[in-house]
Each structure stands twice: as structure tokens, then as C-alpha cells.
């Protein structure tokens, strides 16, 4: 079993770009997400394990390590956007702790945060 890094580990954002791509930032703002996520610090996720995969013939650069070597997680607070709506439960809750509530359809699952009661429906699709 592996010990994974948490979002508050000093290396959690090692080799991450400073900002999300411009198209992601634009879409987030168009949808009212104007506050930087306090969990992932605007990155949309973090490293779970550093250098988990071999770079093989790729040059050892921060960009290549980020894209090909580190094992990463998407942020469950902002769903990978890096930004949240200021008046939402995402902004009020310290860090969501999702728990499965029930299936709401063939591939639909309802999750609820144990801390703030926020609900999130996920389509796992076949």
C-alpha cells in the first residue's frame, strides 16, 4: 500500500504550472467561479506520488514530470477547475469528505459531504 500526499504536503504541487490554462480560467469565470479554490490553491488537483512513472525517452523537465511522471489527483472541492463560486458550499466547507448515499439511476450515484451536507451526483457511465 502506498502513502499518498495530501493537498497540504510541501510537494503536493511540485512541477505544477502556476496557473490553469487560459481556456479553463475563462470557462470557470463564465460560470461564476471567481474564487481560487482553497484546497488545491487554483491548480485543480495535486500530486499523490512523485515520480510514480518512468519518463522513458522524454527529457527530465518540470512539464514532462507533471504530465507523465507524477501520479495526480483531481480536486474534489472544485472538481478540477481550480476555482469555486464564492457563495457556494465549496467555499464554506473546509474540505469536502464525500460519502456514497445511493444510486439514483443505472450509472448515477449520489454523494454527500459529511461535513457540510452538500450533494453531488456523478455519472459513472458504462
For the stretch 9-28, pLDDT in tens is 999 999 999 888 999 999 99
Q: Which triple of cell numbers denotes residue 50? A: 512523485
Find residue 74's DSSP bridge partners: 45
Domain locations along the chain: 1-87, 96-126
Chain-centroid distance, C-alpha 93: 15
The pTM of the full predicted model, rounded to 2 decimals, is 0.86
5: nearest Cα among 71, 94, 57: 71
**Cα distance between residue 120 and residue 72, in whole Å:** 22
In a 10 Å sphere around its CB, with 0-12 CB exposed, 13-18 middle and 19+ buried, how is residue 12 labelled?
Answer: buried
- The upper half-sphere exposure of residue 91, i.e. CA atoms within 13 Å in the direction of its Cβ, equals 11
Rounded Cα–Cα distance for residues 73 and 27 (Å): 21
pLDDT tens for 52-102 read 999 999 999 999 999 999 999 999 999 999 999 999 999 999 999 999 999
* Tens of pLDDT, residues 94-117: 999 999 999 999 999 999 999 999
Amino acid at each position: 500500500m502506498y502513502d499518498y500526499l495530501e493537498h497540504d504536503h510541501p510537494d503536493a504541487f511540485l512541477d505544477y504550472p502556476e496557473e490553469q490554462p487560459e481556456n479553463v480560467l475563462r470557462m470557470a469565470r463564465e460560470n461564476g467561479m471567481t474564487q481560487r479554490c482553497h484546497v488545491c490553491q487554483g491548480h485543480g488537483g495535486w500530486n499523490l506520488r512523485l515520480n510514480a512513472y518512468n519518463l522513458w525517452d522524454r527529457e527530465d523537465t518540470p512539464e514532462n514530470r507533471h504530465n507523465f511522471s507524477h501520479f495526480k489527483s483531481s480536486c474534489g472541492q472544485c472538481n478540477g477547475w481550480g476555482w469555486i463560486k464564492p457563495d457556494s458550499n465549496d467555499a464554506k466547507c473546509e474540505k469536502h469528505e464525500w460519502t456514497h448515499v445511493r444510486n439514483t439511476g443505472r450509472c448515477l450515484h449520489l454523494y454527500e459531504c459529511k461535513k457540510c451536507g452538500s450533494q453531488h451526483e456523478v455519472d459513472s457511465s458504462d
